Amino acid sequence: MSKKTFYIILIALVGLFIVGGLIWYFFSKPSIPSEPATTDSAGFTFPGQETTADLVPVSDNFVISARFAGDVLLFYDFSGQLWQLKNGESKPELSTQQTNENQKPGAKSFAFSPDAKKIAYYISDSKNNSLFINNADGKNQKTLIKNLQLRDVILSWPKTNQIAMTSKPSGLARGGLWSFDISTSKTTKVIGDLLGLEATFSPKGDEFIYSYINQSDRGPILAVYRNGFSKKITNVSTLVDKCAWSSDSINIYCAIPKLWPDSVVLPDDYYKGIISTIDDIWKINTETGAKNIVSENIGDVSNLVLNGNEDSLIFILKSSGLLYKLKLTP
């Protein structure tokens, strides 16, 4: 073999080695997690070790919404069927407690009573704009408001004698939250004139967290309403659909997006599916503002709820549409 041929082969081998090294570096090197969307880490504390996401699928089909009634998880699939998962069981079954959601033409929003024995619903069509309640089985209907002046509202039922009505959220329209007292038939405006307003009441029903849009901020602002006063929860940008109350009505769990995209209308574009997020889950004290990481890089979380034992979070993962359970470590 001539020296010229030898050097050509040597140079070729060295080149292959360098190219192979570059390929390994860029494609096999472990990725570094991106920084959270918040720019100020004050108030955040991290455990000594990362939490491993132990996700277990609960449903076999796409899920619209889910909530707990006592220790039973109730959720609707896209066909309108109501499923239940009892505490200690691994598989859900079709519920015998079929509500009248698909039997009321023009019904726009529904809410279970705190004991899940009654359901409130809002009907709006060309002739009626009214608020009703009846038993969860559809019996004993009662009209609460015959001529409801509000339109496009979302119902919640935080206390036995209190039904809340919140404007359908949009970053293009200012909305409010009203409280209806069943015993006195009186409607009171609680907060209002906020873009993209959404709210979730605590288990006690006396306070609620809410998210809204400030045009000067990149993402939604999260705040708590307690004892007649509002207070922002600092260093948190998320929607209340990604949050769940603890039974103490003090702590909340929230899926917080690492980043909100620029040049979008929130929450409209998010609910339309135009954008998606990668979320970390945090536990937040609404009184002190202290925050602790629970799990990272979960995906796009919606309809977050906490089970009765407070050892698991249940949520819909928007990438699959399925319902999942995340076990919380002690």
Higher pLDDT, 103 or 67: 67
Looking at residue 13, what is its pLDDT? Answer: 35
The confidence score (pLDDT) of residue 157 equals: 96
* Rounded CA separation 173/195 (Å): 6
According to the model, what pLDDT value does residue 72 have?
85
What digits encode the pLDDT tens for the residues 296-323?
999 999 999 998 889 999 999 999 999 9
Long-range CB pairs of 148-156, under 8 A, 24+ apart, other chains included? 148/122, 148/124, 150/178, 151/124, 152/108, 152/124, 153/108, 153/109, 153/122, 153/178, 154/109, 154/198, 155/109, 155/110, 155/111, 155/120, 155/121, 155/122, 155/131, 156/111, 156/199, 156/200, 156/201
What would the pLDDT profile of 3-48 be if each residue is shown by its tens digit? 443 333 333 433 433 334 433 333 333 333 333 333 333 334 344 3
Q: What's residue 35's pLDDT?
A: 33
pTM above 0.75, yes or no: yes
Q: Could you read off the pLDDT of 266-307 as tens digits, one per residue?
A: 999 999 999 999 999 999 999 999 999 999 999 999 999 998
pLDDT for position 105: 65
**CA dist list (Å): 94 to 59, 80, 81, 98, 104:** 11, 11, 7, 9, 21
CA angle 289, 284, 253 (to 5 degrees): 160
Q: What is the pLDDT of residues 157-183, one digit of tens each?
A: 999 999 999 999 999 999 999 999 999
pLDDT value at residue 103: 64
pLDDT digits (tens, 9 = 90+) for 207-251: 999 999 998 888 999 999 999 999 999 999 999 999 999 999 999
Percentage of the chain exceeding pLDDT 70? 81
Choice among 68-72, 120-124, 147-151 with the minimum mean pLDDT: 68-72
CATH topology of domain 51-327: Methylamine Dehydrogenase; Chain H (2.130.10)
How large is the average pLDDT for residues 63-81?
A: 84
Residue spans of the domains in the chain: they are: 1-30, 51-327
Segment 192-207, tens digit of pLDDT: 999 999 999 999 999 9
User: Mean pLDDT throughout 52-56?
Assistant: 68
Backbone angles phi, psi at 8, to 5 degrees: -65, -45
Q: What pLDDT shows up at residue 76?
A: 85
The pLDDT of 103-128, averaged and rounded, is 82
What's the mean pLDDT when you consider all of the chain? 82
